[in-house]
Amino acid sequence: MLTSRNTKKDIIEWLNVWADDYLVKPFDYNELIARLKSLTRRNLKNKSNFIKIWEFSIDLEKIEVSKNNEIIKLSNLEFRLFSYLSQNKEKVISRKELYEKVWWEFDWDIMFSKTVEVYIWYLRKKLDKNWLFLKSIR
């Protein structure tokens, strides 16, 4: 985050909420470049094409989900939805964010439809009927 807000309260609040780094204006250009390089290195180290969540294994490269070494057939959209939810498992995700990140589009008409609910139902049916770790918050 690059900002002119320099109070300790602001810095702590934004680092706790979502910022990976916090740089206050005016700043040194070389420091900005060094921080960007550091963030890039950190992200490259943590990048993986494989997610293990509960008893499921998600292979992002093969676009495959398995449970107990058995492949579960998911549509492309179901796979994107499940992998996105898995990568953000500790976060409450809005309907709008799902449309932008999973459906890759945003249309107000679809926003008020039951599309998300239907695809969540598909996932629950295909993955496990007692899939209680996926909760809807209204």
Which residues in the chain are classed under CATH 1.10.10.10?
50-127
3-state secondary structure of 36: helix
- Render pLDDT for 3-23 as a digit per residue (tens, 0 to 9): 998 999 988 888 877 677 889
User: Which pLDDT value is given to residue 99?
Assistant: 82
CA of residue 62 relative to chain centroid, distance: 19
Cα-only R_g, the chain: 19
pTM of the model: 0.60
Give the fold, CATH level 3, of 50-127.
Arc Repressor Mutant, subunit A (1.10.10)
User: Which pLDDT value is given to residue 79?
Assistant: 92
Q: Label residue 91 by pLDDT band (50, 70, 90).
A: confident
What is the DSSP track for 74-90?
A: --HHHHHHHHHHHHTTT
